[in-house]
Amino acid sequence: MENFSLLTATPLMLTVFTLAFVTALHHTKSANFWPLWALGNLFLTTALFCESADLSLPEFWASVLPKILLIASFFTYNLSARKFNNLKITKLQFLVPLGLIGSIMASVFYFQNTEFPFVIANLILACLSLATAIDYWPQNSENLSSKYGLSFCYAFIGISFLLHSAQGVELTGIATQNQLMLSIHQTAALIFVTSSGAFSLALAFEQTVAEHKEAAHRDPLTGTFNRREFSLRIKELLGDANHASFAVVQFDLDHFKAVNDSYGHGAGDEALQMCSDVMQWHLREQDCLARTGGEEFAALLPSIGKAEAFAITERIRKTIANMPLHFAPDEVRLTLSAGIYHGRGDGLDDRTLLKLADNGLYESKRAGRNKVSLVTSMRGEEPTHSGPLLEART
């Protein structure tokens, strides 16, 4: 394929994929970072247009503008990749490309040097492409197979930029700025645009499917797991013959109906969200928190001692009891009662474990609310009391 056709086909493919993204993804949660990808496409399309069209630009801008646009394009692709993977974006990542672009402009303007900007621009593009390939490479258990394809696409074009930078120098006495290498690089660019666009679309839909699948296991108001998922987590734990002692905690907000009646259901929803945030904050990363009813929550704490489970639950109780509510007078506070089952759960199922923790919760309610009770056995004994902390034996 001749060079002009290659330069025409590549922007056309970029435009098609950009329109596909805008059409398919503007209503999805993924829409917060795909605009960066589309912006990168816009920069790249403009750069290729400047390369192929006779714009009658001054010599300085004719030399510099396509390089700046190409760097802006792949820099934006890199930002999109980092945003997709929730990676940190630092100021240095903005300053380094800007500094290198400045050096390219200076070398052309002051020294009338065109070989140096050509080589440096391609090296920058190679670095940005390879960095993006690394950012897309899966680094966790998230099952998004299109990441592999995108990673290979950016590695492929990065290698092409490295080879293309050789066109600005002399190798074995022969100038490498020739039509064959230019055609190879333009073909590589077309392959990159086509494959990266396809893999990006696939990745976007994989992400959307994963989000919908995750949403099926979540409570829409608080973002915690739902009751079904919580029971599955307990069954999974009990199915492991080598599991350690664990805790199941039942939480219930005291007199929560009064909040809805006094301040409205909007305030009630906000209070539930605040309380779930407090619980999540104090629980460990491996713990599972679920909303099991209107104002009821449950937590599964695997591989934990009785004292630590008790301490975590008590910290949650104290934090909520002291938490100000901006929609209510200063003296109004929410309180929480909790019941804990701790043990190995031998011979028990998920319903029985929840019932035992619920028995502890009942003891907390019966003792005056705003308390924590611990279930330590299956025997029918009266609970012992120690201030706000109760130990219930059922």
Distance, CA of 126 to CA of 122 (rounded, Å): 6
Closest C-alpha to 211, from 28, 346, 376, 14: 28
Q: Which residue pairs, CB below 8 angstroms and at least 24 apart, start in 256-260? A: 256/294, 256/295, 256/334, 259/328, 259/334
Strands 389-392 and 384-386 come out as antiparallel
Q: 66 with 50: CB under 8 angstroms? A: yes
Q: Return the percent helix, strand and coil in the chain, to nearest 5.
A: 60, 10, 25
Q: Give me Rg for the CA atoms of the chain.
A: 30
Distance, CA of 61 to CA of 51 (rounded, Å): 11
List C-alpha distances in Å: 4 to 9, 53, 189, 251: 9, 10, 13, 68
The answer to whether 229 is a known catalytic residue is: no
Question: Which residues are 291's β-sheet partners?
Answer: 297
φ, ψ for residue 87 (rounded to 5)? -95, 150
- DSSP string across 361-388: HHHHHHTTSS-EEEE--SS--PPEEETT
Q: Which of 51, 295, 363, 391 is catalytic?
A: 295
Q: At what angle do helices 34-52 and 3-25 cross, to 10 degrees?
A: 160
Spell out the residues 6+ positions from residue 125 whose beta carbon is closer than 8 angstroms to its own.
70, 71, 74, 158, 161
Distance, CA of 79 to CA of 97 (rounded, Å): 12
Distance, CA of 253 to CA of 323 (rounded, Å): 13
Sign of CA dihedral 216, 222, 227, 231: positive
The total number of residues written for the chain in this structure:
394
Distance, CA of 256 to CA of 263 (rounded, Å): 11
Q: Which residue numbers are catalytic?
A: 295
